[in-house]
């Protein structure tokens, strides 16, 4: 009888998870489609639909090619479409990294930049912009983007290395080392900014989450591997994250190598964070608010938390980028400004509304 109750409870929970995921996927596609309509040039939804439909074999005979303006088609396919795809990929990846850090530290206030990845990327990009110029390219990324990724990864590995005590990496030591790294790198960044001169405007725009206004398909393709690896590996470790939420001792008794899992997940979080911020600039709050908000709605089980947070992160950042395009009319705001302006009151509201605590 007890086994039947457990099976029924799991079956209901699994069905609910599937419904949530289906609803979010539909919401994501709707968000992407609506975002294509937002911009300085007005292009109708019907025309946007026809642009894509005439590229689908079984729909092509029913679409009048003359109904599609070739100039508008270039705007959609070469400017807005890579932009919304980049926003979705970056939002999903930052939210996933946030889930990893919050799960590893068992702290809902941890975010994807806790180990200094953000500060490291900022110093790397600023050095290139100051001494080489960010227009120089390396493979499909600019030098500034590539070096930002490298600095983010190296910073995280250094923090993990100096936090090691014997064969273990205590969570408190990692957090303290991350704080120290952020302070040190912020001081270096301040010095570089003071020397920036004419380059300061571009540097400040990137540091404030300059976003995707000049994004190209090559840059989108460059971060797809990080996105795919991040989602797949994160989900593979969802059981271990659930065990870690019970405490290291309990997780060890349940067969989890806590130190190995912690190192892998911290390195993975830094890897995917460094990869995506290299094309978008420093966009804060996504890795903090999205996992926290999703956890309050559906619970702490990482089997559903990881994919749900990824989709919610994609939706959130695409909407923020769309708002950044039209918020001031003539010019665009950095998308990082929008995420902060929206995220701060929403996060405060969620904290005030939630009267009971939860465990990670």
Model pLDDT, residue 140:
43
- Predicted confidence at residue 206, as pLDDT, reads 67
- Residue 174, Cβ neighbours under 10 Å: how many? 22
Give the pLDDT confidence of 85-130 residue by residue, as tens digits: 999 999 999 999 999 988 888 877 777 777 788 788 888 878 877 7
Q: How do residues 194-243 score in pLDDT, each as one tens digit?
A: 877 766 766 777 677 666 877 888 888 888 888 898 899 999 999 999 99
Look at residue 62 in the predicted model and tell me its pLDDT. 66
pLDDT digits (tens, 9 = 90+) for 236-276: 999 999 998 888 788 888 888 888 888 888 888 888 888 88
Q: What is the pLDDT averaged over residues 170-192?
A: 84
| pLDDT on residue 137 | 42
On average, the pLDDT of the chain sits at 81
Instruction: Look at residue 299 and tell me whether its pLDDT is greater than 90.
Output: no
Confidence of residue 25 (pLDDT cuts 50, 70, 90): very high
In sequence order, what are the residues at sequence separation of 6 or more whose Cβ sits closer than 8 angstroms to the Cβ of residue 337? 208, 209, 324
Which pair of tokens denotes residue 258? Answer: 């806590």
Per-residue pLDDT at 82: 92
Residues 6+ apart with CB under 8 A from 261: 237, 240, 244
- Each residue of 339-352: pLDDT tens digit? 888 878 877 776 67
* Residue 148 vs residue 33, higher pLDDT: 33
The residue among 329 and 92 whose pLDDT is bigger is: 92
Question: pTM (2 decimals)?
Answer: 0.85
- Spatial separation of the C-alpha atoms in residues 138 and 277, rounded to whole Å: 16
The DSSP string of 123-176 is HHHHHHHHHT-TT-EETTEEHHHHHHHHHHHHHHHHHHHHH-BTTB--HHHHHH
Question: Which CATH number applies to 91-353: 1.10.3230.20, 1.10.3470.10, 3.50.50.60, 3.40.960.10?
Answer: 1.10.3470.10
Closest CA to 219 of 152, 149, 339, 139: 139
For residue 61, pLDDT over 50 is answered with yes
**pLDDT score of 118:** 78
Residue-wise over 240-266: b if at least 16 C-beta within 10 A, else e? bbbbbbeebeebeeeebebbebbbbbb
Q: Residue written as tokens 């570089």?
A: 192
Rounded to the nearest 10 degrees, the angle between the axes of helix 200-207 and helix 117-131 is 160
Q: How far is CA 60 from the centre of its chain?
A: 35
pLDDT at residue 305 is higher than 50: yes
Rounded Cα–Cα distance for residues 350 and 357 (Å):
12
Question: 128 or 187: which carries more pLDDT confidence?
Answer: 187
Q: Residue 307's pLDDT band (boundaries 50, 70, 90)? A: very high
In angstroms, the CA 10 to CA 13 distance is 5
**57, pLDDT greater than 50:** yes
- What integer is the mean pLDDT of 139-154? 68
pLDDT of 35 higher than 80: yes
Average pLDDT in the 30-56 region?
85
pLDDT at 258 (0 to 100): 84
Given this model, what pLDDT does residue 135 score?
46
Which residue in this structure is represented by tokens 């600095």? Answer: 151
Residue 358 has a pLDDT of 46
Return the percentage of the chain with pLDDT > 70, whole number: 83
| Strand, helix or coil for residue 260 | helix
The domain locations on the chain are: 91-353
Backbone angles phi, psi at 141, to 5 degrees: -115, 155
What percent of the chain is predicted at pLDDT more than 90?
19
Provide Rg for the chain, Cα atoms.
22
């Amino acid at each position: 009888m007890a086994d039947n109750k457990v099976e029924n409870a799991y079956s209901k929970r699994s069905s609910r998870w599937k419904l949530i995921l289906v609803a979010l996927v539909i919401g994501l596609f709707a968000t992407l489609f609506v975002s294509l309509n937002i911009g300085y040039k007005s292009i109708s939804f019907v025309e946007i639909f026809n642009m894509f439909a005439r590229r689908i074999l079984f729909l092509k005979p029913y679409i009048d090619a003359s109904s599609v303006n070739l100039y508008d088609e270039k705007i959609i396919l070469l400017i807005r479409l890579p932009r919304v795809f980049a926003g979705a990929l970056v939002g999903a990846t930052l939210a996933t990294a946030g889930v990893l850090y919050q799960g590893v530290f068992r702290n809902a206030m941890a975010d994807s930049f806790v180990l200094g990845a953000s500060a490291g990327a900022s110093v790397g990009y600023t050095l290139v912009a100051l001494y080489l110029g960010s227009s120089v390219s390396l493979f499909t990324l600019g030098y500034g983007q590539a070096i930002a990724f490298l600095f983010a990864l190296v910073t995280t590995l250094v923090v993990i290395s100096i936090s090691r005590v014997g064969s273990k990496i205590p969570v408190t030591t990692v957090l303290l080392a991350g704080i120290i790294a952020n302070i040190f790198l912020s001081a270096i960044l301040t010095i570089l900014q003071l020397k920036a001169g004419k380059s300061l405007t571009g540097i400040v725009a990137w540091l404030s989450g300059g976003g995707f206004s000049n994004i190209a398909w090559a840059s989108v393709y460059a971060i797809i591997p990080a996105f795919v690896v991040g989602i797949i590996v994160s989900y593979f470790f969802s059981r271990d994250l659930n065990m870690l939420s019970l405490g290291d001792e309990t997780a060890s008794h349940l067969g989890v190598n806590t130190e190995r899992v912690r190192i892998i997940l911290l390195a993975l979080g830094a890897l995917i964070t460094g990869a995506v911020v290299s094309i978008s600039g420093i966009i804060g709050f996504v890795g903090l608010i999205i996992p926290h908000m999703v956890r309050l709605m559906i619970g702490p089980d990482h089997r559903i938390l990881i994919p749900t947070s990824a989709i919610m992160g994609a939706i959130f950042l695409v909407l923020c980028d769309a708002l950044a395009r039209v918020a001031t009319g003539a010019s665009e705001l950095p998308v990082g400004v929008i995420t902060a302006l929206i995220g701060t009151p929403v996060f405060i509201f969620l904290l005030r509304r939630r009267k009971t605590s939860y465990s990670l």
